[in-house]
Chains A and B, each alone.
Chain A
Amino acid sequence: MPCTRPLRALASEKALPYWLILPTIVYVAVFFLVPVVQALLLAFRTQDGQWTTRFLMRMVQDIQFGSALRFTLLLLAIVVPLQLVTALFIALLVNTRFRGSRTFLYMCAIPLGISDLAAGLIWFSLFTQHGYINSFLYGLGIIERPIFFLSAQNTGWVLGSIVLAEHWRATAIVLVILVAGLQMISRDYLEAAEVFGARPWQRLWHVTLPLLKPSLQSALIIRTILALQMFAVVVAMGGRMVPVLAGEAYYWYYLYRNANVASAYALLLMVISALLAWGYLRFLRPREVHS
């Protein structure tokens, strides 16, 4: 019968996509839901099954907690805007399509593949006592003996070094998102603006940036959430001199073998991430652009 085969094929074609996504859904469900449930149990329940806020209190009252929270938010507030501005600048530069812009773009994207730990070590080699920056300053005759950039007496220097390292490492992801966004903007809008006599600055401010808003938003969300988890860069450069939340989660398990308080820290990070993401989506909602 000529008819049944296509029909049967059609029916199986309908179910096929669901079979194809099923393994991913199951895997993601297991590996994302199990940890959340487990984290709640670890953070709010004692060994013998009593509900408790003991671990939460222990986290909050810990001597490092306040500074970890402060430093995490401070780093976030400095690094993310800095990266957004740098990446936007480079993206607009690339978008002028000068000769060699492709090569330049790939070059700028290199740190995308570099781990936070390696990036931390790279910048450690610059800022350490006998490192490149001290040697360079000495060579110029500016200093006589090395500056201790990475010492507990000088949290400001440590913080600054971490900002530079993180800025170098993770601007690339913002850049790639923004370049992709810029390429989707039709040239017609810009040409129309030019016909109506808009100056370059006006074109940027009134045409390009509004159209780029969705990309800016997603770059901002992704970067913020990743910056909240800043960990290996900080540890590689300053150990625990500048405590951060993800670092504390690590140390509470690695040093004290306390998975309960570590889980409380992890949950706190989750809550802050969710709040910030919600805030961005709520307040930076892109206006509908009719095309």
Chain B
Amino acid sequence: MTFRQLQRRFLLYMVVVVIALWVLVPLVLIALAAFTPRLELYRWPRTVLPSAFSTATMAFFLRSYGTLTSLTNSALVALLTLGMTLALGAPAGYAVARYVFRGREAFRIGILMTRMFPTSLLAIPLIVTFIRWQLYDTLIGVAFIHTAMALPFAVLITSGIFSGVPKELEEAAMTLGCSRLGAFVRVALPLALPGLAAAAMFTFVISWNEVFAAAILTVRNRTLPAQVLTSLEVAPLDFRFAGGFFMIIPALIFMALARRYLFQMWGGAISER
């Protein structure tokens, strides 16, 4: 390796490290803030590293009025959303992946177009409709909206996943005596399962993160983000930091587990190389 090449390599890794720090440092800082003793957060000047590791800040957040209820609410809404989204979206994704049928492109484009829909336009007008349908301030109502938001993604993601399962395997199962459904359940489904699990986690995170619709459509049955958002004005610093850190935990787990599938989800079928 020449000196010039060495120099260039050094420069490359410098840039890489700087960018990685830009992404990671804010995450580390919020984690530190969430475990700093409560009073220290108000001190000036403050050190980056807390003087002691303390769970008091997190405990304060979790014990605050409404946090635990909203936490359960969030989990329930996310699970309902996940169930409905996959039940509706996975068959559609399978159809798009397996069959060439008239209207397939129109369907795909129509699904893509719904991503341009502002959340506010989805949520605000439904206040009136939900009151009429008795869905206002219910968890299932919020889950309905979240399903509408996650469904387009679910269709595109699952179609990408099913495209990755060779059609020939299903056909072989059918020649060996399986029914159409049997071939799907015994062959395609097991092969698609890891991808579907990633899609499920992704749906869960969409619902877990959503704040606008949840805050608009609930009053007493708030989800966690809605609860945090609506108490921001009165919440002390420690509540906000702990809440911010707590909300990103599922996202971090998801990114760690499903990273292989990220590109299938966003950029079409790009396999791991």
Contacts and interface: CB of A to CB of B under 8 A. Distances in A.
The residue in A14, A122, A231, A266 that gathers the most chain B C-beta atoms within 10 A of its C-beta is A122
A21 B46 contact: no
Interface in A99-148: 100, 104, 106-118, 120-126, 128, 130-132, 134-136, 138-139, 145-146
B35 to A, nearest CB: 12
A125 B122 contact: no
A109 B262 contact: yes
A180 B263 CA distance: 7
A85 B248 CA distance: 26
Nearest to A240: B233
Contacts of B259: 106, 109
B126 to A, nearest CB: 5
Given A20-B91, A118-B244, A235 B125 contact: no
Interface string B93-129: 0111011010010010011001111111111111111
A134 B90 CA distance: 49
B24 A25 contact: no
Contacts of B88: 23-24, 27
Interface string A13-48: 110111011011101100110111111011000000
Contacts of A254: 215-216, 230
Contact of B125 (A42, A173, A236): A42
B131 to A, nearest CB: 10
A277 B113 CA distance: 10
Contacts of A112: 255, 262
Given A32-B122, A254-B215, A21 B16 contact: no
A126 B42 contact: no
B23 A108 contact: yes
Interface of B: 9, 12-13, 15-16, 19-20, 22-24, 26-27, 29-30, 33, 41-48, 87-89, 91-92, 94-96, 98-99, 101, 104, 107, 110-111, 114-129, 144-145, 147-148, 151-152, 155, 180, 205, 208-212, 215-216, 225, 228-230, 232-233, 237, 240-241, 243-244, 247-248, 250-252, 254-255, 259, 262-263, 266-268, 270
26 contacts: A17-B101, A23-B91, A24-B151, A28-B114, A31-B148, A35-B124, A39-B125, A42-B125, A93-B19, A98-B16, A113-B205, A113-B252, A117-B211, A120-B244, A135-B47, A138-B44, A145-B44, A168-B26, A232-B212, A239-B232, A254-B215, A259-B127, A259-B128, A262-B120, A262-B124, A269-B120
Given A20-B92, A21-B107, A179-B267, 4 more contacts: A24-B155, A98-B16, A110-B23, A168-B22
